[in-house]
Amino acid sequence: MSGIEGKVVAITGASSGIGEASARLLAARGAKLALGARREDRLKALVDEIGLQGGEAVYAVTDVTRRDDLSALVLLACERYGRLDVLLSNAGVGPISPLADLRVNEWERMIDVNIRGFLYGVAAALPVFGRQGFGHFVTVISTAGLRVAPAQSVYAGAKNAVRTICEGLRMESAGKFRVTGVSPGFVRTEFASSIIAPKMQAAIAARMEEIAIGPDAIARAIAFAIEQPPDVDVGDIVVRPTLQA
């Protein structure tokens, strides 16, 4: 048996990219899944696929900017499977642009999804982990926060806020639960589609085409953290293309 088999995992942003790849991999290794995302058609198709392959998964339409949606996703996992072992917070957006463009609405969107959405997940899962006496927060962050680039100031700032909160969460856990941050570099996902600035979108899409790795690479890193024994906390993982600076 793997260290994943039988674990109950809730995943946000599960309808595409890293979230979808993680759902497939974890289901194949025996996890029971509660999947959340905004696109119900994709969620349903993924749950059906997992079921046909002998896995277990349920879904709830989830907008991480709505606290009640995160609470409902965690509740779904607990009601269906009796507990929650892992919250994989993967949902995020990156409408990057130079600060001088003053795309304030996009700044607010990144704060709402990338920070507030993450915190809503913490607020939903933390009481459950407290009652259980165990649990694991796994959060997809970004290498953008490790090496800040022009036009990525707000995005990197939001990701670094999450990184800081994760470390505080780990310190406050007093060994009761685990906290892992996974920072991907360029990955073949729908990230570029969230960028509104045309030149920036084209530049990021071109760079992804040149060097990006598949989302399954990040899924494997996530699985590695989850499958460790209870007394092992993998704090930070950075996974990026070998060609990325």
- Cα distance between residue 152 and residue 156, in whole Å: 6
Residue 15 CA: distances (Å) to CA of 30, 50, 62? 19, 13, 10
The single-letter DSSP state of residue 230 is T
The single-letter DSSP state of residue 53 is T
Count Cβ atoms below 10 Å from residue 133 Cβ, excluding itself.
Answer: 8
- Kind of pairing between the strands at 32-37 and 178-184: unpaired
Q: What are phi and psi of 242, to 5 degrees?
A: -60, -25
Q: Is 32 helix (H, G, I), strand (E, B) or coil?
A: strand
Task: Annotate 88-111 with DSSP letters as a single string.
Answer: EE---------GGG--HHHHHHHI
Annotated active-site residue 155? The verdict is yes
From 192, 197, 204, select the one nearest 244 (Cα to Cα). 204
Count Cβ atoms below 10 Å from residue 150 Cβ, excluding itself.
Answer: 9
Residue 208 CA: distances (Å) to CA of 131, 135, 189? 42, 34, 9
Task: State which H helix or E strand residue 9 sits in.
Answer: strand 8-11
Q: Is there a contact between 13 and 19 (Cβ–Cβ < 8 Å)?
A: yes
Active-site residues, by number, are: 155
